[in-house]
Structure 1
Amino acid sequence: MFEDLAQTVLDLVSTYGYLVVVVFTFLEASMLFPLLPSEVVVPGAAALLVVGPVTFALFVAAVVVGTTIGSLFAYHTFGERGRSAIDATEYVGVSASDFERGEQWFRKWGESSVCWGRLLPFLRSVISVPAGFAGMARWKFTLYSAVGAAAFGAGVALAVRTGMGFLGYG
């Protein structure tokens, strides 16, 4: 199932480019479509789109825009609706215990977990929820989300392209 879905997304990436990266990362970060994790699609998208410094920057920008806007959506949804929003998300396969784990991370590591949490598979999307619950300052949440998303996008693109003579090296 995931292979077919991932292939469909990659076909869309090859047709529509960075727009699909923005939409996909928005859907994942917003918790509207957490069924297909970034680890499946983003490396494939990087392999298709990143061929040099300009496309690298465009790719990272697409990841930052999609992730940051999606994260803000989740941050506001859960910040305003509180725990009642968790019940509404059960249908997409994110359980209350998943949210509880995110809350534990946030309590343990604080606001900085929004930034570095964007690098971790599970935490990348869910960390917006406890940040919203805690009433973290929106400007700080936005900044930390964008920086973490940039690190994730750049790291994935570099990892995928390093062995292919990316940026004239190798």
Structure 2
Amino acid sequence: MFEHLGETALRLVEQYGYLALAVFTFLEASMLFPLLPSEVVVPGAAALLVAGPVTFALFAAAVVVGTTVGSLFAYHVFGERGRSALSSRGGSLRVSEERIERATGWFRRWGEHSVLWGRLLPVLRSVVSIPAGLAGMARWKFTLYSAVGALAFAAVVAAAVETGLNLLGLG
């Protein structure tokens, strides 16, 4: 059922451009549709959309907006109703209290800056919003760290794709 998901996502980026990229990154970061990680779509989107400084800025803006808004969604869901939504005693997601405490402890151990560098790492990019919300990280700081981390991710991906295309003689 999901075997052509990456191709479909890239066709949508090809058709709708930066808007599709922003929607995709929102869906991943919000945990509403985490089935297609950004490592699959964002590099392809960079190859399709980035052709110079202006398109690079638009690409980065789409990734930052989508990721930041999606992250804020997950942060609020897990910050405001996190324990009740995750609780194994009747919560809709049924996660044990021990796992919730472990996630919160992980976040406290690595600190709030883990939101920033976490945006650069596969899997952690999306899920870091959950312990940040559970731990009650300040919203302004969470937003800032998420946006800066998303910008760094977009820049690294776009630069790597451009370098790769140039090395292959396709750039």
Q: Match of 1:151, as an amino acid? A: A
Structure with greater helix share of residues: 1
Q: 1:19 to 1:99 in 2, by over 3 A?
A: farther
- Using the aligned pairs only, state the percent identity: 74
Match in the other structure for 1:152: 153
Give the whole-Å Cα distance in 1 for the aligned partners of 2:99 and 2:156.
25
Deviation at 1:122, TM superposition (A): 1.3
Aligned residues: 163
Which runs of structure 2 are paired with 1:84-163 in the superposition (5 Å)? 84-86=84-86, 87-89=91-93, 102-163=103-164
| Gap regions ≥5 residues in structure 1 | none
- Which consecutive segments of 4 or more residues in structure 1 shift more than 4 A? 95-102
Deviation at 1:103, TM superposition (A): 3.6
Q: Secondary structure at the match of 1:83?
A: helix
Give the whole-Å Cα distance in 2 for the aligned partners of 1:100 and 1:36.
27
Match in the other structure for 1:10: 10
Q: Match of 1:113, as an amino acid? A: S
TM-score by length of 2: 0.86
Match in the other structure for 1:57: 57
Give the whole-Å Cα distance in 1 for the aligned partners of 2:101 and 2:51.
40
Structure with larger Rg = 2
| Gap regions ≥5 residues in structure 2 | none
Match in the other structure for 1:76: 76
Q: Match of 1:69, as an amino acid? A: V
Residue pair 1:103, 1:127 contacting (<8 A) in 2 also: no
